[in-house]
Homo-oligomer: A and B are copies of this chain.
Amino acid sequence: MKEKPSVSQLSGVKEIARRANVSIATVDRVIHNRKGVSEATKEKINGIIKEIGFQPNILASRLASKKTNRFAFLIPNANETDYWDASLKGIERAHQEIKQYGIQLDKYLFDLNDKATFTKNVNEIAKGDYDGIVMAPSFIEEATELAARCQSRKIPYVFINSDIPGKNNIAYIGPHLYQSGCQAGQLVRFGLKRGKVLIINISREIDSYHHLLRKEDGFRHYIEDSNTAANHIAIEKMDITNTTDESVSVALDTFLKNHTDIDAFFVTNSRVRSVATYLRTHASPHRILIGYDLSGENIKYLKDGTIDFLIGQKPEEQGYAGLMALFQHVVAGSTVIKNQYMPIDIITKENFEFYKN
């Protein structure tokens, strides 16, 4: 460690003021384009700023301004899967890093099985006078309304985990659903030359725009496109709207009695564990099973070989990146990438322990 050389004077408002023959205060006015500066001096100062490539010292800036920003987070609670728990951890990690800059953070959690809790939180947030919002728009209509409110109040907002196209969100951070389905298709194709695969959607509400269906699309198209006369894979599908283990078990049992020739299963979300539970207890020859997310249960079945592949969607990273995108936009004022697709991670028994959500 050594003393910082006086090089620091080469940038900074002081230097700009010196070169422009004005005071620091005037330079400051130009930087924050506040009024009270003549056109002439403004131009001169802006010229110098560009010339020396002035970048304000965020440390000093934040320190002096004493500004506080309040952000809100709206995501599902971690009731049934630990997917959203990971997301929360990412949020908290990000908050830890930026709270020095005067960032306050309020978290609002809703129940995925209860729209009303979402609406209630939306109203709470509307009262809160926030400088930015990160949300998982699980309920499309309700989320759209919140987005509209933000829009009219000029509050920036970020979507994570699933997207609503055509909105004015400053960023979407989450998986590319269609491509993610393709990936699952490739894995099935690699392990199964010909045969039959069953797509399973397990979710309380499966309306026509549900994001699970976008994964199904990707999967379906991949398999169909890669089918040849010699190597042909047929596709079956089923939707299960009752999400308990038992009803999944019953539904599967019924289905498999009529379709004894299923070689592979693709479950479009983290509920793959329910399918694994069934397959494990109904010991049959091993069939390929692919699903989503690294919950504790899923990992258990990955370990014992019931599940072959899990596709990871980086919930922790999503939470982190969501808050950071807001921070970049609001505090640093820099432009953020609008669509930040998470990597489509392929997780197996062999690599899961090195996986970072």
A4 at the interface (CB under 8 A from B): yes
| Residue in B closest to A341 when the chains form the complex, CB atoms | B354
| Residue in B closest to A59 when the chains form the complex, CB atoms | B59
Q: CB within 8 A of A1: which of B131, B179, B191?
A: B131
Judge whether B348 and A345 touch: CB under 8 Å.
no
Among the stretches A74-82, A108-116, A161-169, A182-190, the one at the interface with B is: A182-190
Judge whether A183 and B350 touch: CB under 8 Å.
yes
Q: Which residues of B contact A8 (CB under 8 A)?
A: 66
Q: Cα distance A117–B102 when bound, in Å? A: 47
| Residue in B closest to A182 when the chains form the complex, CB atoms | B350
A30 at the interface (CB under 8 A from B): no
A60 at the interface (CB under 8 A from B): yes
Judge whether B63 and A60 touch: CB under 8 Å.
yes
Q: Cα distance A238–B182 when bound, in Å? A: 35
A240 at the interface (CB under 8 A from B): no
Report whether over half of chain A's contact residues are helix, strand or loop; otherwise say mixed: mixed
Min Cβ gap A131→B in Å is 6
Interface string of A1-34 (1 = CB under 8 A from B): 1111100100000000000000000000000000
Q: CB within 8 A of A354: which of B59, B66, B344, B354?
A: B344
Contact residues of A with B, CB < 8 Å? Answer: 1-5, 8, 57-60, 62-63, 66-70, 100-102, 131, 176, 179-180, 182-183, 185-186, 190-191, 222, 308, 341-346, 348-351, 353-356
Query: Could you show 25 A-B contacts with beta carbons less than 8 Å apart?
Result: A2-B67, A2-B70, A3-B67, A3-B68, A4-B66, A4-B68, A5-B68, A57-B63, A57-B100, A59-B62, A60-B63, A63-B63, A176-B354, A179-B350, A179-B351, A179-B354, A180-B351, A183-B350, A342-B354, A343-B351, A343-B356, A344-B354, A344-B355, A345-B346, A346-B351
